[in-house]
């Protein structure tokens, strides 16, 4: 092969290589723009969602088969995060969903899933869905009352909440209760918050108190007249929690 032909072949190879790189860069840039545009249309909402077994037909699947029901509505780049690994010991969880309005509409049409109404107004045309950094006092009073009802019905004490607490702080408290369930599993006192310890079977009551002592929680003043609400508050107050919980794109 002559030098001239060799150089010509090298030039052709270089041009083809350069063209391939330019096409790849163009396609990559197009995809980045597509994803960015899609993400711009996504909004974050928070839900109290049932926990479902996504492999209900296979009893051999382990606990990781339990998921927040919101997951069943998601597709593509849409995502969610739950306050704890869903489990069959407490059949609901707090979930963050980052998705399109269409997906949120589908989720909210499910009668089993409740949107946490973090709205600052009841005016549908002007209201804003508040971020976790907002305070409880910024939530419209009507929706504050709904949230209290939702949480109390699910065994989450709310008497401690003050207007100056951030929504993130309330979510951290919910997460602490849910993670207590995760740690105690079947021994968790899943009863109405007003239930006194005297109404709980002695064996379960003993396991609850032993678990508390094992984790450095004071039980010396607990009596049979104590309620589940008081016990849960004592656990949240004295358990050696980690400084922060990762929840979706936030730290609680």
Give whole-number Cα distances, 213 to 207, 208, 216, 234, in Å.
10, 9, 5, 12
Q: Mean pLDDT throughout 191-209?
A: 96
**Is residue 212 in some structural domain?**
no
Is 196's pLDDT higher than 80? Answer: yes
pLDDT digits (tens, 9 = 90+) for 224-251: 999 999 999 999 999 999 999 888 888 8
The boundaries of the domain holding residue 9 are 1-40
Is 180's pLDDT higher than 70? Answer: yes
pLDDT digits (tens, 9 = 90+) for 9-57: 666 676 766 666 665 555 544 444 344 444 458 999 999 999 887 766 6
Can you tell me the distance from the alpha carbon of 167 to that of 125, in angstroms, rounded to the nearest whole number? Answer: 23
Is 149's pLDDT higher than 90? Answer: yes
Q: Mean pLDDT throughout 205-232?
A: 96
Give percent above pLDDT 90 in the chain: 64
Residue predicted with more confidence, 57 or 94: 94
Q: Count of domains in the chain?
A: 1
**Is residue 19 in some structural domain?**
yes
- The pTM assigned to this predicted structure is 0.80
Q: Mean pLDDT throughout 142-146?
A: 96
Host H or E run for residue 48? strand 43-53
pLDDT of residue 224: 97
Can you tell me the distance from the alpha carbon of 106 to that of 99, in angstroms, rounded to the nearest whole number? Answer: 11
Q: Return all residues near 107 (Cβ < 8 A) that are at least 6 apart.
A: 45, 47, 70, 73, 97, 99, 113, 115
**Is residue 117 in some structural domain?**
no
Residue predicted with more confidence, 7 or 211: 211
Q: Mean pLDDT throughout 131-154?
A: 96
Is 195's pLDDT higher than 70? Answer: yes
Is 194's pLDDT higher than 90? Answer: yes
Token pair of 80 as six digits: 């969610």
Q: Return all residues near 54 (Cβ < 8 A) that are at least 6 apart.
A: 65, 66, 67, 71, 72
**Is residue 21 in some structural domain?**
yes
**Is residue 223 in some structural domain?**
no
**Is residue 91 in some structural domain?**
no
pLDDT of residue 119: 96
**Is residue 248 in some structural domain?**
no
**Is residue 20 in some structural domain?**
yes
């Amino acid at each position: 092969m002559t030098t001239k032909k060799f150089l010509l072949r090298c030039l052709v190879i270089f041009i083809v290589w350069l063209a391939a790189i330019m096409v790849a860069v163009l396609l990559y840039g197009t995809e980045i723009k597509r994803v960015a545009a899609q993400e711009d249309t996504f909004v974050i909402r928070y839900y109290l969602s049932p926990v479902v077994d996504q492999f209900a037909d296979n009893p051999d699947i382990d606990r990781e088969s339990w998921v927040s029901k919101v997951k069943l509505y998601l597709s593509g780049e849409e995502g969610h995060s739950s306050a704890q690994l869903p489990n069959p010991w407490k059949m609901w969880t707090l979930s963050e969903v980052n998705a399109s309005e269409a997906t949120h509409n589908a989720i909210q049409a499910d009668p089993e899933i409740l949107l946490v109404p973090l709205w600052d107004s009841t005016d549908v045309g002007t209201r804003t869905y508040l971020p976790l950094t907002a305070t409880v006092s910024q939530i419209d009073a009507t929706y504050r009352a709904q949230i209290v009802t939702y949480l109390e019905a699910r065994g989450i004490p709310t008497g401690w909440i003050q207007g100056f607490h951030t929504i993130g702080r309330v979510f951290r408290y919910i997460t602490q209760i849910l993670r207590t369930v995760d740690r105690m599993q079947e021994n968790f006192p899943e009863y109405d918050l007003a239930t006194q310890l005297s109404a709980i079977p002695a064996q379960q009551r003993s396991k609850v108190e032993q678990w508390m002592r094992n984790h450095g929680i004071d039980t010396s003043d607990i009596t049979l007249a104590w309620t589940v609400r008081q016990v849960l508050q004592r656990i949240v107050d004295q358990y050696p929690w980690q400084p922060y919980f990762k929840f979706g794109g936030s730290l609680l």
